[in-house]
Chain A
């Protein structure tokens, strides 16, 4: 009898695919339905951010920063503003710090809502996606009344903010917090603890803690593996040290530590922690002028700086080299999604094709940040 030929099939997922979260091409080498290797190919959204930054002055780079991780735009601006302030060695008024923290946490909630909603959509639950977007609309409305834009804000400038908070801001934020807590519970009932969802995501795509650290993974992906590392507590910046909140890690409640469910659940728990921070911050905003410390011309001394913050996706770092002129000499952005994506081949070996969707969704990448 002739020998049965069992070859490995190469399947291409993307770049046009309903659930690769952007233009990502994953080359799957499969043996039947089991994945042998998953090689991500990126670059489809490369927009030369770093080259543009060399031609602009420091103020003009900010709209470009917005557009990297477009779902977490406040986080991008925050990190860049902190980097330039470090170069210029200016201290911002405390009011600015508090408002920045509130905006960053609201942005974290909005970004996680997108991640959770689209993750449910990938797994096949159509309805939680719309519930998440309904709540996100409220946050975007708050942002729109403050700075005028819904997605790409250009709000945090080096030295301060573009606009002060409008009247009614505090009431709106408090109303949102009050309305959002029961919604998280509803989301948990509908999606997180649903047995079918649990069976799809538990024990799938297990990322061991040491592998995660070796690859340089950060954010909810790292905390899902049980590693308690959050830059807001471990390398504090701004006024995060003034608030009481916890760093949440995955504990393997329904499966193994570091599986997709843990990474997903860390996002849900992080939203609750963000609500705590926002509640405390909104009570204590000091008075001040948010535009007092904004320099008229940004012309830093010669030098270099690396600053990092914890955005919704992980450690976003900016490495800026200044040559003393009005334009930066080099701006390098360390995008968390880029580093998190590198761990994909490691965690997909041995799982089924259907699990690939769950795994890619759980790593929560945004291609704008991967490709810059």
Chain B
């Protein structure tokens, strides 16, 4: 399909524009669905019903109603806030998540930018989020926001290490940084998936990556930055209305990014679990999105089950548990590859 876009528009700015709008549309529709799913799943896990009235059928229009409400809110900027930083912060956070979509292969026939260092680019560009969060916390002129922002920055930077180390193990096995090639390497039946390979090391790698990515997206049990009961709302305390909505959508966009990466690296990405049955360009998109949604369900499941970590325990987990395990893992996987080929 990407070839189709290039054919139609030619390799010029129009192609880039269309290729960048498609993920945006995806993010916005997916965020509405994911928010509704979160409300319903959390409700049923807590023995209650969740939204039931907006949109008649089980409140499917609740996120739409929320967005409409947020759009109508007054734009409040604290009087003593650092205005330039305050206005720029939400967009930086959004861009950090959004830019990663350029390199995610939704199907064998569609990828925004088929670069051969795909995963490296994604990890790098996701780090922009840290800048945005620090800006938000500092410019709000609020002690609690500042505390939240500092904690978040520490958390995000620390968890990038085990996350990247886990990805490194997969890259060693696949032999390439390009996400398309990694998906290709897992084609065939589901036992070809990397999560079952070099057992148990790549499974441990998956667990490490999943936990680290949970921390990257500030989801519980790592949601200290936005812990409602501790810091009111952390770095986005002072944001209201549409600016807050941008933070919120950015969080969901990030969730899907890491879910998609986990699916691609460990569960075959767009390749069908049944070999050539149900595979192809359109089926590829279906498989990637389904696997991503399963990962997202697990993320939500964890959020509603676990209490949250204290900030020093969070650091302990990253530096003293995940990083050593990831390093040992890389060593073991490397040894396996050298010895067994």
Which residues on A are within 8 Å of B, measured CB to CB? Answer: 9, 11, 17-19, 33, 120-127, 130-131, 134, 190-191, 194, 196-197, 199-200, 352-355, 357
Question: Which among A33, A127, A357 is the interface contact of B229 at CB below 8 angstroms?
Answer: A357
Please tell me if the beta carbons of B46 and A194 are within 8 angstroms of each other in the complex. no
Please tell me if the beta carbons of A131 and B46 are within 8 angstroms of each other in the complex. yes
Chain B 207-226, CB-CB to A under 8 Å as 1, else 0, gives 00000000000001101100
Please tell me if the beta carbons of B224 and A126 are within 8 angstroms of each other in the complex. no
Please tell me if the beta carbons of B307 and A196 are within 8 angstroms of each other in the complex. yes
Please tell me if the beta carbons of A190 and B305 are within 8 angstroms of each other in the complex. yes
Which residues on B are within 8 Å of A, measured CB to CB? Answer: 42, 45-48, 143, 147, 220-221, 223-224, 227-230, 232, 303-313
Inter-chain contact total with CB atoms closer than 8 Å = 70
A354 to B309, CA, bound (A): 10
List of B residues within 8 angstroms of A123 by Cβ: 307-308
Which of chain B's residues has its CB closest to A19's CB? B229
Please tell me if the beta carbons of B305 and A127 are within 8 angstroms of each other in the complex. yes
The 5 closest A-B pairs by CB, nearest first: A124-B308, A125-B307, A130-B46, A19-B229, A124-B307
Please tell me if the beta carbons of B230 and A191 are within 8 angstroms of each other in the complex. no
Please tell me if the beta carbons of B307 and A18 are within 8 angstroms of each other in the complex. no
Q: Is the interface of B mostly helix, strand, loop or mixed?
A: loop
Given contacts A18-B229, A354-B224, contact A196 B143 (CB under 8 A): no
Question: Which among B147, B229, B304, B309 is the interface contact of A196 at CB below 8 angstroms?
Answer: B309
B225 to chain A, nearest CB (A): 12
Which of chain A's residues has its CB closest to B306's CB? A196
Please tell me if the beta carbons of B47 and A134 are within 8 angstroms of each other in the complex. yes
A284 to B241, CA, bound (A): 60
Interchain residue pairs with CB less than 8 A apart (23): A18-B232, A33-B311, A123-B307, A123-B308, A124-B227, A124-B307, A125-B307, A127-B45, A127-B304, A130-B47, A134-B47, A191-B307, A194-B307, A196-B307, A196-B308, A196-B313, A200-B307, A200-B309, A200-B310, A200-B313, A354-B224, A354-B230, A355-B310
List of A residues within 8 angstroms of B304 by Cβ: 126-127
Please tell me if the beta carbons of A126 and B221 are within 8 angstroms of each other in the complex. no
6 more CB-based (< 8 A) A-B contacts, given A196-B313, A352-B311, A353-B147: A124-B229, A124-B307, A130-B46, A200-B313, A353-B230, A357-B230
A125 to B47, CA, bound (A): 15
Question: Which among A9, A124, A127, A130 is the interface contact of B221 at CB below 8 angstroms?
Answer: A124
Please tell me if the beta carbons of B313 and A199 are within 8 angstroms of each other in the complex. yes
Question: Which among B45, B306, B311 is the interface contact of A354 at CB below 8 angstroms?
Answer: B311
Question: Which among A131, A134, A352 is the interface contact of B312 at CB below 8 angstroms?
Answer: A352
Please tell me if the beta carbons of B305 and A19 are within 8 angstroms of each other in the complex. no
List of A residues within 8 angstroms of B223 by Cβ: 124
Question: Which among A126, A199, A355 is the interface contact of B46 at CB below 8 angstroms?
Answer: A126
B143, B229, B304, B312 — most chain A CB neighbours (10 Å):
B229
A121 to B230, CA, bound (A): 11
Question: Which among A126, A134, A197 is the interface contact of B42 at CB below 8 angstroms?
Answer: A126
Which of chain A's residues has its CB closest to B228's CB? A18
A196, A352, A353 — most chain B CB neighbours (10 Å):
A196
Please tell me if the beta carbons of A196 and B42 are within 8 angstroms of each other in the complex. no
A123 to chain B, nearest CB (A): 4
Which of chain A's residues has its CB closest to B46's CB? A130
B309 to chain A, nearest CB (A): 6
List of A residues within 8 angstroms of B42 by Cβ: 126
Which of chain A's residues has its CB closest to B224's CB? A354
A25 to B81, CA, bound (A): 26
Please tell me if the beta carbons of A122 and B229 are within 8 angstroms of each other in the complex. yes
A183 to chain B, nearest CB (A): 12
List of B residues within 8 angstroms of A17 by Cβ: 232
Given contacts A18-B232, A19-B230, A130-B48, contact A120 B310 (CB under 8 A): no
List of B residues within 8 angstroms of A355 by Cβ: 310
List of A residues within 8 angstroms of B232 by Cβ: 17-18
A36 to chain B, nearest CB (A): 16
Which of chain B's residues has its CB closest to A199's CB? B313
List of B residues within 8 angstroms of A131 by Cβ: 46-47
A19 to B307, CA, bound (A): 15
A17 to B232, CA, bound (A): 7
